[in-house]
Amino acid sequence: MTTPAVQDTVRLRNDSARITELIVTDLSAPVPSCPGWTLRDLVEHLGGVHRWARECVETGAPPARARATDPLSEPPPEEADALARWFGDGAIGLANALDAAPLDAPTWTPFPIPDPTIAVWLRRQTHETALHRWDAEAAVASPREMDPALAADGVDEYLEVIVPRKVERDGIVLPPGSAHLHCTDTPGEWTVEVVDGEYVLDRSHRKGDAAIRGTAEHLLLRLWGRDIPDGSIEVIGDEAVASAWTSIGGN
């Protein structure tokens, strides 16, 4: 499900440009939200992901590298200015490929969703880049706020695409109980639960065992395992259920 929040590559381009600017600050700076990573690690990771996704967009088939995290045939350059050009070239190449491809064209993806199209890649790479832009800024600057509509779509994508992927790929066991997530700054609410052994995502207004309320950005960051200010999310009901559903983490 691609919402109006993700219909073009403008956000992908803008967030990539911001990361490119940060590359020449301090590549050795640790990224607090990605333990064990430096800014260089983040840039090399995202640059590899962009190139991997571009191959899927252009060919519609699985890429030569089995996973986006597999080593590149040509390692990223060491020098900061060259690395910035390398990263920028990859981001622009992906954005151009997405602009050239019909959003309804079929393609391969690693996600357990039926009949995937190019729109899946536009949405996934927009959110991947937005989240890592936030990570990069957290390392060397102050993170800018995310657009609420985009962040709400990121919550939707996480619950629709990422959770099932983690079940299928990583074998995680989803928690018992139902959790209702509700954005306080923009439309968006979801209830998640397991019914008869199957994961169920419901976007209608209803009650869950736990209600989790916060801005779209704070909900998104919490779902992806990022630290958020104390008290920025309100939990009503079963706190254990709320904690379990918001602690699945990212990939």
| Side-by-side strand order, sheet with 189-195 | 198-202, 189-195, 179-183, 210-214, 234-237
Contact 201, 192 (CB under 8 A): yes
Q: Which domain holds residue 208?
A: 148-245
Q: Which of 71, 106, 140 is the endpoint of a domain?
A: 140
Contact 198, 169 (CB under 8 A): no
Q: In the chain, what percentage of residues exceed pLDDT 70?
A: 98
Tokens 């079940």, residue located: 167
Q: What is the pLDDT of residue 114?
A: 93
Q: What is the pLDDT of residue 251?
A: 58
Residues 161 and 130 in one domain: no
Separation CA 87–CA 193 (nearest Å): 39
Q: What is the pLDDT of residue 246?
A: 97
Tens digits of per-residue pLDDT, 147-203?
Answer: 999 999 999 999 999 999 999 999 999 999 999 999 999 999 999 999 999 999 999
Give the pTM: 0.96
Tens digits of per-residue pLDDT, 89-100?
Answer: 999 999 999 999
Q: Which of 117, 140, 163 is the endpoint of a domain?
A: 140
Judged against a pLDDT cut of 90, whether residue 4 lies above it is answered with: no
Residues 80 and 109 in one domain: yes
DSSP state of 145: P
Number of domains in the chain: 2
